[in-house]
Amino acid sequence: MGPEIYSAFIDAAGGPDALIIDVPTAGGDSVYKQDAPGTRGWKLAGAKNVYVLHTKDKRLADTDSFASVVKRAGGVWFEGGRQFHLVNSYAGTKSEQAFHDVLARGGVVGGSSAGASILGDFLVRGAPSNNNSIMDDPGYEKGFAFLRGVGIDQHVVARERLADLADSIISKYPTMLAISEDEGTAWVVRGDTATIVGRNKAFVYGGKDPNDRGKPFLTLFPGDRYNLATRHVTHRVADESPVAASVIDSLFKKYVDSSAGGATVLVAQGGKVFVDRSFGIPDQPKYMPTTTVPQFAIGKIGDVFTALCAQLPEPPARGGGRGNPDSAGTGRGRGGRAAGPPATPFQNCITRRISTPIGMHKTAATSDGVVQSSVDELYRLSLGLENPRTFVRDTAAAGNGSGIDLTRGWQSDNYRGVSRLSAYGTPDGHRSAFVRIPERHATVIVLTNDDGADAKRITDEITSRLLNAKSR
């Protein structure tokens, strides 16, 4: 979860001094101490008053003494795990009512993974088991209903779940509004209006606007706004883009013909994703975004990964304890690899040391060191590099500067009066480009399979329009 989400929640809770209740119960353990892992991110983000609230005893949760601390809270955050643990512990108790009272008096509630799903009225994937593919369980269909009439799914791109709400929920409950988001992405809801914040996309099922072409949902991007009551988009961030759609169409018209090899482009500034498009890329299985898959060989842009790996320490050896079933996923998952030869150190670095903190799941390296990625995943890296706490040499450094030189692997120059960091697919700027303007929080990424593509020229054109725009 990125700093943009932490900051939005802390502000809504009343600022750094407000009491934030962290509820780790979905994780399934019997005991969580006051320094539980979920508290670390809040404290690093500036929250000074975090209290861990947990019980597996529903009778205790239904007492005034247990729920009393919530009466002083500005915010309540539900951690990930399995949704049914939250139901078993708190549903129908004085604690659940206290959670609702926080929102009623102007505070904020939120959650990640299972903690996001519990916020809905209908509980998606609530079955009391570790089989999180069960979408609808008769005994566990009721969430805490902070968003009435809404069902919420999560991890939908990372775990290729985009079809599930349409196939299993909307088909059965056609009047429901279902929403979802990928990892590191949030719906920030005030009244009936939601703003999409974070590192990837969000999705709407059962809304009143037309769905995406050939898909059972509507895609929203960071900066878009959506009215949950009317079920309509109220603002598209693309409408305020300093780079017009016609300019993007002109720059990439060659790639509309799939025989040119395909291309993708992402343009973002200040947390708003103005452009996230593909050209000449066929529809992907399971409705996956064509800006996430397939992966492109990124050539010399891989030097950015090499430079990070040279500075990041090896992670501690993995223990033998059980994992968190809802957060672990299935199949390859985060850092997973298909059966085959042992991974090289560079492959391990990408899947564990670089990908894990920023939520990349598809980016990988071949055994001979060729890095493959997408514009969506490289944008996650760009946002991660803006936060000095993302990549650190050791835990102690996390609060005192990263100790990592985040400019290594990049070409650095001054472009139109601002510092620019660039990496290109080839030494002469062809095929692909990854450009960052840190002081403007701007990112431009172009990936192609075309050795003749003048990626530097394309990104220069786009960057110029970003810089020439009035401050937003």
210: pLDDT confidence band, cut at 50, 70 and 90? very high
Instruction: For residue range 330-364, list pLDDT tens digits in order.
Output: 333 444 445 678 999 999 999 999 999 999 999 99
- Going by their DSSP bridges, the two strands 185-190 and 218-220 should be labelled as unpaired
Average pLDDT on 261-283 reads 97
278: pLDDT confidence band, cut at 50, 70 and 90? very high
Distances (CA, A) of 385 to 269, 310, 396, 408: 14, 16, 19, 12
Quick one: pLDDT at residue 331? 36
Cβ atoms < 10 Å from Cβ of 123: 27
Average pLDDT on 290-308 reads 97
Please check whether residue 338 is in contact with residue 362, taking contact to mean a CB–CB distance below 8 angstroms. Answer: no
Instruction: For residue range 300-327, list pLDDT tens digits in order.
Output: 999 999 999 999 988 665 544 434 455 4
Counting beta carbons within 10 angstroms of the beta carbon of residue 254, is it exposed (0 to 12), middle (13 to 18) or buried (19 or more)? middle
Average pLDDT on 137-144 reads 96
What is the model's pTM? 0.92
Cα-atom radius of gyration of the chain, to the nearest Å? 22
128 vs 137: CA distance, rounded Å: 8
323 vs 145: CA distance, rounded Å: 28
Average pLDDT over the chain, rounded to whole? 92
Least confident of 4-18, 62-76, 309-323, 376-390: 309-323
Quick one: pLDDT at residue 330? 33
Instruction: For residue range 79-124, list pLDDT tens digits in order.
Output: 999 999 999 999 999 999 999 999 999 999 999 999 999 999 999 9
Distances (CA, A) of 134 to 84, 138, 152, 153, 265: 12, 11, 14, 12, 36
Residue whose structure tokens are 């919530």: 70
Cβ atoms < 10 Å from Cβ of 406: 21
**Token representation of residue 85:** 């643990």
Quick one: pLDDT at residue 403? 80
